[in-house]
Amino acid sequence: MTDKVWGGRFQKGPEEILDRFNASLPFDKRLYAQDIEGSMAHCRMLGKQSIITEEEASLILRGLSEIRQEMDAGTFRFEGSFEDIHSLVEKALVARIGPAGEKLHTGRSRNDQVALDTRMYMKEAMGRIDSLLLEMQKTLVQRAEGEIEVIMPGYTHLQRAQPVLLSHHLLAYYEMVKRDRERLQENLRRVNVLPLGSAALAGSTFDLDREMVARELGFDRISENSMDAVSDRDFVAEFLFASSLLMVHMSRLSEEIVIWSSQEFGFAALPDELCTGSSIMPQKKNPDIPELVRGKTGRVFGHLMAMLTTLKGLPLTYNKDLQEDKEGLFDTIDTIEQCLTATTRLLQSIRFNREAMRRGVEQGYLAATDLADYLARKGVPFRQAHEKVGRMVLLASEKGKELRDLTLEEMKDFSGLIEKDVYEWLDPYHCVQRRDLPGGTGPVAVRKQLQKAKEELGV
């Protein structure tokens, strides 16, 4: 016989190598608050259903409360060869209050218990992440509102394409973050399901009031199938996917910040207090925050792939493989929170170089599309207009000029429909102003986007 919670069937205790390999306590001890809160709700339900006496329930609740207080204060000693946080709390409870503590596990298994703890932990973490995403959205809106007059080059293929408002560019990330929040809210709906009462896999013979426990712990509903409830980790995989896509967006933003702050672009300057230097090159000022966010994206992707790989071949119901869900989940939550906090702080303090952006829109033939539109408005089929403007760009390039520097006579060689008013169409500021359709980069359209965003945020 062993001192394990499952030791009755065994004649010999586990070897040290099994204890070390099998244990999850080093990482799942962060679930202690959820484990104790779930146990207290389970205990109150057992008492209400007369499965244990009111006196036993009261004694158990007092013992759990004391253990929670010590763990919160950091005075509890996590010692011994306990497999996980669940067995540690149970053994600590029995040591504190005696045999009554052994009744706490009535009607449940560690299988539904760990599923409960994980869901509770995720609910809290997702609330924190949503708050951080909200703060990033507010920062993006604030910066966009402050830069509403700034024009910059918009890019495709990392080649200058068309003039856009810097505010429009920033609000593109607002939309990405909005979708990230929506995905997490949808994920939360599936996280917010109570598995407790499923026991090991088949449910319980006791008359458990699962709805009561769900209400006490703030779950929207109870699981419908006990076998699915103890083996389901879809909600973890879904969170890891949503986190991976969130990190894609963060990494894209980070890449742009790195590029913009380079001397080659010079569109932005990062504050000294959020950069580092070189140990050998005195002049260096390195954008470490966006580079680290870009790098940490890979580890979040890795956790998603690890979770999917773990789940893909598991038969029903619980298998020890599922213990591998937590370290990747915990690390993803920590990583997301760190990246969001650091990036938002960077967005709040980054300085945009308006002059460099202005120079950027005046070089590179960014008004070419507007010139094609100009001809199309005069009745030239767009494909023909496109071809004519392409040849004009070639001529300007050969002469070392921009389109606006070509003479009216040079442009008329390509189309007699071109008149003096063409020069207004070649002004990058007018290029932006003409795009005031909903969702466009025109000032009126962007102000409407800003107003809608502020209404969504309640600011």
Q: How many CB atoms lie within 10 A of CB 407?
A: 9
The type of residue at 3 is: D
DSSP for 219-254, please give it: -SEE-S-HHHHHH--HHHHHHHHHHHHHHHHHHHHH
- What is the 3-class SS of 256-314, one letter each residue? HHHHHCCCCCCCEECCHHHCECCCCCCCCCECHHHHHHHHHHHHHHHHHHHHHHHHCCC
Residue 67 near residue 39 (C-beta atoms within 8 A): no
> What SS3 state is found at 194?
strand
Is 86 part of the annotated catalytic residue set? no
Residue bearing tokens 């932005």: 268
What's the sign of the alpha-carbon dihedral 220, 225, 228, 231?
positive
Phi and psi, residue 13, nearest 5°: -75, 165
First to last CA, the chain: 63
- The token pair that represents 317 in the structure block: 């119901």
The type of residue at 11 is: Q
> What SS3 state is found at 339?
helix
| DSSP secondary structure letter of residue 108 | -
- The token pair that represents 353 in the structure block: 């170089």
Is 303 part of the annotated catalytic residue set? no
Nearest-angstrom CA–CA distance, 59 and 93 = 10
- What is the 3-class SS of 385-421, one letter each residue? HHHHHHHHHHHHHHCCCCHHHCCHHHHHCCCCCCCCC
Give strand pairing partners of 148.
Answer: none
- The token pair that represents 419 in the structure block: 């008149």
3-state percent helix, strand, coil for the chain, nearest multiple of 5: 65, 5, 30
> What SS3 state is found at 444?
helix
- The token pair that represents 85 in the structure block: 């946080």
> What SS3 state is found at 159?
strand
The closest alpha carbon to 253, from 340, 317, 338, belongs to 340
- Cα separations in angstroms, 423 against 209, 371, 388, 407: 77, 9, 16, 10
**Of the residues 131, 278, 349, 397, which is catalytic?**
278
Biggest CA pair distance of the chain: 101
- The token pair that represents 220 in the structure block: 């929207």
Nearest-angstrom CA–CA distance, 148 and 450 = 10
Active-site annotation, residues: 157, 278
